[in-house]
Chain A
């Protein structure tokens, strides 16, 4: 019997999902992460899981893995002792960065510190021109001197980043070969293999980050693979990359930096999957947990991908406070808004919520663990959204009195009642998320009104209804087991490889034969990796993209291009694709038509097998699913209303219920306002329509 196993290692918990595609049954398991030897939790969990389900290790025919280990290694600065070798004259590029501060008025900010200190940065003599012509050949003696010094300092991973290597990587290749030959125990990363794109700081930063986690990744992935074999799991091990695709272990060892955002990527894929089951083409994925909310855009089943990202921020939600990483990654925003977000009144007499969070200790005031600050969870309890007798599925006791007391602490400063304040906390955190969503969606040139909100995480279904109203959305989807839906994303991901090359030339000057050859070579490289990942792929999808801009602009639009092969006649087609994409984002084309291609990109993907999940098989009536009736606050009537509370597992498919309503399941609670109507679909999704 073929089973698929998904493993997601987070900072606190390791989630496992075992899925039987034949019966459609999904089993979940959550155990504590073992940070020193992360494979321990994985192996223990897998053992527990197969015992619980009663299968053999050999029945698992697919293992898919996501992990935050490398992200955490960068945050906690627990990577390898890493050295950097640059073109002579430029070792400080990594430290100088872009010379810009991420906050204007705070003169005490903490700027992100480079992963490689100045004492471990050396230079080699060589020089390429911007067009990729050799101006100074690589001087081996200077390279050797740099390596010897690094080895003497105890370095076991070396990053090599030369100027203009995106235009011609010959010197980086030569340097890497030299290092591998003469220092076989040392890991090497070249900038060309991880981020062959113009802009030396961002490329070097990415190269160094890869070098920093590479030894860790090699060791960990090696142990994990061996121990899974040892316990009898013979299935191939796939890794999820940040763009939401899968890759094989060899590629993951070579460029582990690609795995940085694998967990959130799984979440977005999962939202895409559940959206698809309700025939939704445009999904705004909304995941809200204890400290953060994440939003991402999914069009036609595919999450939007961005080509840059920041790791290890010194100020968590502040753009520019982290290390730039140029990888393909699911394009999501993270907002400091979760159940633990703390409410306070600022010096202007305004109520603020978050980004400070009470986290799990002491947690919200209602936990009774010593927290006295009012949080979003406290407000949700006071508003009747959460059930004190069924908190976290009844596994925790909470104190509504303590929640109200904490909220009441803000009464004097604001002149508002506890109920008004509780609603205020809920409404402000919703506005924070909605405002972030508006800017995020608008920056991508999308029209919000086309989207359906898909809510996951413990807080998504609680806040989704009102967030959707703020955004003017007419519908939301709440998947089954919404609180843990994201791990399932692992099992539905396609294999995916992204490749990029810098062209940096006006479209009018392009040599079409050369361009076609470059696309073709990226494609064959990517196909090779796909073939190693999915040897008998039934269908392989190849997509061509290009980063284009009007000459003189500094930001490129990533444009989907038609399939190749290209020749001189492709010119107008490609220009028109760009102009149309530009209009989508910026409304108007400017009064010039000089356009250039900065980078070209290829995405190759192949399906890896599908999963269905969570279908509803409940029978019976609406009334039978009612757990109880309680008072719940709704802003539409500005008052508490007697509201029916349903048990989700007892709701039969096809049923329609008029709001207001509350639907509870162990991991999350769905709130539907008085203007909403919910429908339970056969797929297990709950669809909520919001009247205008």
Chain B
């Protein structure tokens, strides 16, 4: 393997890089603790990065969710196209939620701050968070276009040379249901950018760096070389897979071809279903992010996140397909398709290297969003998450009720009851929901909610895999499909994706899918079989 010319040796680079990651982690910790919405603090639905002047990411906060690895540095580069470097001033903060330049849907607000050190532009601090509301129709896939999705924020200067754009803030507050939370989170994001700026400048002083480009070259080249090494160790070939999702009125087909050639990978989604007139379209930026997440799990789970590691990977999807939709179609609930992509990668690779992947998970993530007016006349939004089981692997059973591919926590039952008018009647493992196998899947959960207020509430869901089960791998059986019921009546995929008015005494039962099995059930260890029987898992 040929080595790049050494600009930083093995020790110096390690020391600086460790410190750089601690800078973004410190900002992430401050953001989590000071945010107003459960989306950031309980669900970690955010990211913080530092880039050089070209928008090349040097480090990303360790706890950020996977989907933003791929998107945020690209958004910074879009900002640069829109606001060329010579138009940027100290104290500027840029903002957008453009789905195609951001993360695929409007609730994700991205902010970036150009960093000026002694008057010289040295890079950007940037952050994306999932805002608790962006107006529009909410918590449902029943949205026809991006205008129904809510407030669109074009590329703007939120702060111009340190001055906040109050007109924008007023406009934002007026268009969202929970203005204090939305603006509070935005404020927390801006503070995080300032924190990154201060800490980065300390670092640059300590190591006498007057620019970040050389450091970026070194970090990105080494990361790229390591990723290329990992790819080279994988046998060349074209690995294909096809899966279906419940969709809305008809199933969505995802067709993937993972082409490994030498030290690079091309992922092609040719043959995938066309875009639809509902909100389950996935912008290419998000398609890319979920795809590289799956590949990274397989190839380099330990590697730190940055653009260099992703250079050898290209992802394409036909324009106008559900994985690369055109304006003005909506991607509001893009996870309902996007969360299938890491598993599509696993499915493709499973034939060549089953030991490196997991069987089908009980995802996408399920959720319930309720919005209404409380007794004091205030508008509110409650959002609760429900995970399924994960798939079995060559090494062990799948995990019961665990978030994958995302990493979103449940809201505690006591918090749900305190913050909403729902009573949780039970929340328990869903017995028998796992696909059996040498290593079975993880169990899903069953949660029963009862509504207790005389004021009706509008509820929207995210639910999937209620028709088409998580597929087994290597002879493992499929996981059990999920069931979403209102007052005992199961909802069809189309019914799941429209809003429902819920009244006092109504009951909602969410039974999330179980993970699929890995390997033939006949090969399962007898001790595990009897444990499962005794504990009531199977």
Contacts and interface: CB of A to CB of B under 8 A. Distances in A.
Given A91-B428, A587-B191, A200 B413 contact: yes
B454 interface: no
A307 interface: no
Interface string B176-211: 001011011001100100110001000000100000
A424 interface: yes
Interface string B389-400: 010010110011
A591 B187 contact: yes
A117 B535 contact: yes
Nearest to A588: B191
A568 interface: no
Interface in A97-123: 97-101, 103-108, 110-111, 117-119
Nearest to A203: B414
A617 to B, nearest CB: 41
Nearest to B32: A555
Nearest to A553: B36
Interface of B: 3, 6, 9-11, 13-15, 17-19, 21-22, 25-26, 29-30, 32-38, 41-42, 44, 65-66, 178, 180-181, 183-184, 187-188, 191, 194-195, 199, 206, 222-223, 225-226, 229-230, 293, 296-297, 300-303, 357-358, 385, 387, 390, 393, 395-396, 399-404, 407-410, 412-415, 417-418, 424-429, 445, 448, 534-537
Interface in A63-100: 88-93, 95-100
Contact of B10 (A349, A431, A550): A349
B180 A592 contact: yes
Contacts of B178: 552
A320 B18 CA distance: 21
Given A438-B22, A504-B418, A586 B413 contact: no
B400 A95 contact: yes
A424 B410 contact: no
Given A119-B534, A199-B414, A92 B427 contact: yes
A118 B222 contact: no
Contact of A431 (B15, B187, B293, B303): B15
16 contacts: A100-B44, A101-B404, A104-B65, A105-B300, A163-B414, A198-B414, A200-B414, A350-B10, A352-B14, A423-B11, A424-B11, A554-B35, A555-B33, A586-B30, A590-B34, A591-B187
A118 B191 CA distance: 45
Given A89-B428, A550-B184, A96 B14 contact: no
Given A89-B425, A443-B26, A428 B11 contact: yes
Contacts of A351: 10-11, 14
- Central interface residue in A100, A164, A352, by most chain B CB within 10 Å: A100
Interface string A536-558: 00000000000000101111000
Contacts of A100: 44, 402-403, 407-409
B363 to A, nearest CB: 11
Contacts of A129: 417
Interface in A196-229: 198-201
A423 B14 CA distance: 13
A181 to B, nearest CB: 29
A106 B424 CA distance: 33
Nearest to B230: A347
A184 interface: no
Interface of A: 88-93, 95-101, 103-108, 110-111, 117-119, 129-130, 163-164, 166, 198-201, 345, 347-352, 413-416, 420-421, 423-424, 427-428, 431-432, 434-436, 438-439, 442-443, 470, 504, 550, 552-555, 585-588, 590-592, 594
B356 to A, nearest CB: 9
Given A99-B409, A585-B30, 10 more contacts: A100-B403, A130-B418, A352-B14, A413-B10, A438-B26, A443-B33, A470-B206, A585-B34, A592-B180, A594-B180
A590 B22 contact: no
Contacts of A104: 65-66, 407
Contacts of A585: 30, 33-34
Nearest to A97: B401
Contacts of A470: 206
Contacts of B407: 100-101, 104
B426 A88 contact: yes
A421 B181 CA distance: 50
A425 to B, nearest CB: 8
Contacts of A199: 412, 414-415
A107 B222 contact: no
Given A118-B536, A349-B3, A591 B426 contact: no
B402 A99 contact: yes
Contact of B409 (A98, A107, A347, A348): A98
Nearest to A165: B414
Contacts of B230: 347
A508 to B, nearest CB: 11
Most buried by B among A415, A442, A550: A442
